[in-house]
Structures are given as structure tokens and as C-alpha cells.
Amino acid sequence: MKKKTIVWICSEAAPFAKSGGLADVSGALPAALADRGHHLHVIMPFYPQIMGRYNQKLKVRYQGLGVPLGHWNEWAQILDIRISERLCFHFIEHHRFFDRPSLYDHNGVEFADNPERFIFFSRAAMQAVLAMRLKPDIIHANDWHSALACVYLRSPLYRQFDNFSHCASIVTIHNIAYQGNFEKSKMPLTGLGWQYFNYHCLEFHDRLCLLKGGVMTAHAVNTVSPTYALETLSPEYGFSLDPSLRERAMNGDYKGILNGIDSDEWNPESDKLIPSNFTRERMAGKKVCKRKLQREMSLPERSDVPLFGLVSRLAYQKGIDIFASCVEEALLKDEMQFVILGSGEPFLQTRLSYLASKHPEKIAVKIGFDNRLAHMIEAGSDIFLMPSRYEPCGLNQMYSMRYGTAPLVRATGGLDDTVSNFDYANPSASTGFKFWDLNPRSLLDTMRWAASVYRNKPQSFKAMQKNMMLQDFSWNRTAGEYEKLYDNAAGRL
């Protein structure tokens, strides 16, 4: 296919700044597209308090970038880190908006000026394209923080410039629960006329909705798994944007593309964060990882007991409340062990920590995040828990399969797309365990089922492990799907 110049606009990207899956995608997918011959320019805010050692690698690309915000100009500059000949990250430096210790909130409370911050950022990205004299084929916005760029591309503010004369736009929804909904009094900050505040653009129940604006004006819209794309067309999962998505879907403009994973970082054969490496053909190292994980978390070193791992935000979306409601019965009645790593809702942290103090021989909990321990849990667990209420894509189930750890998931979103339920008749075609009904009894029964297979059908469990480790979730596969999406969007110009 014709190689394209792609401007990727995002609020976070690994390894520079990360709060969730958006950063993983924004760090990996542009690199995969660049490897396939496209020219990628990633534009994101500069977070000096968060980016640490990367601050020393930045070079000034452009000074005095004027960014209209309402009736005045804000001034910024563009900083660069060049990754390769075809991949460059550009950072919008504006200390009043982005020199903060966190990305979007403080102690769980969103920054009051978030509408100003990200209206400014979307406009700054468009101004940066002009300042750097880029002529993109694709503007690729991500989530509400940059969705306004799609509206700008359609507006007289930017379509007059030759830079955008052959440019199509994409908006990717990484989690539709976050939409950028603000009071309509913020509308003048966009620089767009009130004619854009209507049902077919930025108006949403008499409020300003930045994500809706992107959904309604982008040449193509996608989300991060096929099942999640279907789910978001319903009121249950669409968070009130389902009518807008159905309108786009009816015209063939909305699809789901499954995320990938970094198969170099998450590789049991070369992972330096685990105590013993292993492969699909030589699995002895996995047993070592389990023993070391049990020892580190002060659990009895037992190979006969299934070890369940969980690495997650301790949040309602992730179904951790459902897990907390059923796990005590398992601790009292079943031979199972649990290792949990995460942080989030205080009541869930307290509940799980209490259970760990009450049953120290069966459950270990660490509140916080520890990348080394996350890798240890993926490698050393037998079964990995993901009981999510909704999950746009999910990555941990893919990491788990790489390490021969069977994901146990609720069949929703990307979890449903990636996990093939265990089949006694054909374990070598299975990749994990699924449940559908979101209640404690269903989860507990499925945990008991998985534990029974582990304990009583070891050869079937091993056949499933070998199949899991064959699965291809690389970004190169995903990049090919985005190339098709870009071609489709360009065809709509």
C-alpha cells in the first residue's frame, strides 16, 4: 500500500507518560506502523514532572507556537525526541497546563481546568502541524483529549490550509466511559462557532462533549476490539453515546480492531524480571517462577495447589467487587492460593488487605504497582483473573497466554475476543476459562472449574498451555488492520 504520513495525537504514550492502555497503544502502534514504512509524528503534551530522564533527551523543534484559546493566544513550544528515521515524538510544552505531578487528576479529583487543558492541546496539535510544515495523509486522534482535532480538520479554521488538503481523520475510542463532557460555557474556548454546538457535532444533552465531536466528524471511527465495538452500540455499554455510534456504524464507519502487546517485553524466553526463563518446549522455568512467587509473597510453596494471579486497578469496571464478594468462600472451603497486585478504590484495598491478614497462607496482597512483581505474577501464576464488568480490549489476558498462564475472564469486550473457553474434548484449541453472568457465584464456580482442570486433568491443562503460548498478539498484526482503516478513511475524502 501507499506509505502515509500519519499525525498521531494523544494525551499519553509509553514510556514517557502513562496512566492506562492508551499509553501502551500510543507507544507501540506508531512504532509498528513506522516499521511498515509509514512516517509517524506523535504529538502529546510535555509533562516535565512525569517524564523523568527523558527530559534530558528533548530538543527544541519550534519556539513561539501561538495557540488560540478563546479570545486570546497561549504560547507554547515544540520539543522533539526522534526514535527512528520514520518515527518522531513531538511534545507540546506549556507549563501552566502540563507541569503537574499527574496527568488528569489529583487524588482522584479531576483538575478543574481539564477542558481548557485539552481544548488547548487539540488546537496546539493542529498548530504544530502548520508550524512543522507537515502535510499529513491521516490525523489520528485518541479518546476525548484529542478528538477535537477531527472537528478542527472539518472546520474553516484548518481546511483552508494546503497542509490538510488531502488529510483524513480517525478517532480511536479506548474507553467510551471517558468522554470529555463539560459545561457548554467552555464552547467559546474552541474557537469554533456555535453552529458546531448541535446534535450532529459537539452538543450532548446541552453540554459540550469532545469525544462526540470526534465521533461525528472523523472520517472513520474505531475502538480496540470487535466485541467492544458491538457492545458500545447498546445502551448498556454505550454510556449514552450509542446513538451516535450506531449512526456511524450504519454507514460502515465504525469498527473494532484488537490491540496488540509488546511481544519483546512480555516474553518468557528473555524476560529479565522473572527468576527463570522458559519456553513452550521447555516449561521447567515456569515451575521455578511459581515457587519463587509463592516464597516472595509468603505463601506455602505447593505445586499441587492452583495459584491465581490478579494484577489490576482495584475498580468497579474491573469487577474486583465481585471477586471480593466470593473469594472468602474459596479461602474457607477450597485449596487455592491468590496473589493480588493493584491499587484503586479504598474500600476494595481495605477488604482485600483484611482477607490477606485473615488468611495469610492462602492470599497475599500488595497495594500499589510494581512492574517486576507484575511480570512475576504473569510468569508464576497458573491462572490469571479478569472478572471485568466491561473491558474495551484488555492486555493482561494476552500477557498471561504468552507465559502459559490460563486467563479466567468474564466474556466481555476484548476478553471475549481473545480467550477460547476450555473444551474437555479439545483442550489443545482452548486458551482459558470464561464466565458470562456477572455475579459472585458464577465467578466462584468458574474458579473452582479452573482449579479442577488444573488438579485433575493435568495433561489437558498442559495442552491448553501450549496452545496459549502459540497465539500471535503482536502489534505488527494490529498495524495491518489500521492500514486498512486508513485506506478506508482516505477513500471518504
Is residue 132 within 8 A of residue 76, CB to CB? The reply is: no
CATH of the domain at 74: 3.40.50.2000
Q: Is residue 269 part of a domain?
A: no
Q: Is residue 278 part of a domain?
A: no
Q: Is residue 119 part of a domain?
A: yes
Q: What average pLDDT does the segment 14-27 reach?
A: 92
Position 3 scores a pLDDT of 95
**Is the model's pLDDT at 282 over the cut of 90?**
yes
Position 369 scores a pLDDT of 85
AA identity, residue 17:
A
Q: How confident is the model at residue 108 (pLDDT cuts 50, 70, 90)?
A: confident
**Is the peptide bond between 15 and the residue preceding it cis, with omega within 30 degrees of 0?**
yes
93 & 226 share domain: yes
Q: How confident is the model at residue 21 (pLDDT cuts 50, 70, 90)?
A: confident
Position 92 scores a pLDDT of 98
230 & 321 share domain: no
Q: Is residue 273 part of a domain?
A: no
246 & 379 share domain: no
Q: What average pLDDT does the segment 437-450 reach?
A: 98
Q: Return the residue matching grid coordinates 451516535.
A: 244
Q: Is residue 275 part of a domain?
A: no
Is residue 169 within 8 A of residue 138, CB to CB? The reply is: yes
462 & 483 share domain: no
- Name the CA dihedral angle for 279, 285, 286, 292, rounded to a multiple of 10 degrees: -150
395 & 248 share domain: no
Is residue 175 within 8 A of residue 224, CB to CB? The reply is: no
Distances (CA, A) of 334 to 42, 130, 352, 446: 50, 63, 17, 13
461 & 486 share domain: no
The b/e string for 129-153 (b: 16+ C-beta within 10 A; e otherwise) is bebbebebbbbbbbbbbbbbbbbbb
Q: At what angle do helices 114-131 and 210-217 cross, to 10 degrees?
A: 40
Hey, which bits of 203-288 come out as E strands? 203-204, 207-209, 220-223, 254-256
Position 97 scores a pLDDT of 98
Q: How confident is the model at residue 106 (pLDDT cuts 50, 70, 90)?
A: confident
Angle ∠(139,144,146) on CA atoms, nearest 5: 35
109 & 255 share domain: yes
192 & 310 share domain: no
SS percent in the chain: helix, strand, coil, step 5: 40, 25, 35
380 & 405 share domain: yes
C-alpha cell at 110: 479531576
Q: Is residue 270 part of a domain?
A: no
Is residue 209 within 8 A of residue 179, CB to CB? The reply is: yes
Q: What is the pLDDT of residues 369-416, one digit of tens each?
A: 899 999 999 999 999 999 999 999 999 999 999 999 999 999 999 999
Instruction: Give the structural domain span for 151.
Output: 5-260+475-490
Hey, which bits of 94-218 come out as E strands? 105-106, 109-110, 138-142, 168-173, 181-183, 203-204, 207-209
Is residue 397 within 8 A of residue 373, CB to CB? The reply is: no
Give percent above pLDDT 70 in the chain.
100
Position 450 scores a pLDDT of 98
151 & 102 share domain: yes
Position 70 scores a pLDDT of 93
222 & 182 share domain: yes
What is the C-alpha separation between 373 and 343, in angstroms, rounded?
14
3-state SS assignment for residue 34: helix
Q: How confident is the model at residue 107 (pLDDT cuts 50, 70, 90)?
A: confident
Q: At what angle do helices 143-154 and 114-131 cross, to 10 degrees?
A: 50
Q: What is the pLDDT of residues 224-271, one digit of tens each?
A: 999 999 999 999 999 999 999 999 999 999 999 999 998 899 999 999
Q: What average pLDDT does the segment 27-45 reach?
A: 97
**Is the model's pLDDT at 20 over the cut of 90?**
no
Domain count, the chain: 2
419 & 457 share domain: yes
Q: Is residue 354 part of a domain?
A: yes
For the whole prediction, is pTM greater than 0.85?
yes
What is the C-alpha separation between 302 and 320, in angstroms, rounded?
26
- The whole-chain average pLDDT of the chain stands at 97
Position 327 scores a pLDDT of 97
Q: What is the pLDDT of residues 184-195, one digit of tens each?
A: 999 999 999 999
Q: How many residues does this entry show for the chain?
A: 493
Q: Is residue 242 part of a domain?
A: yes
What is the C-alpha separation between 255 and 241, in angstroms, rounded?
15
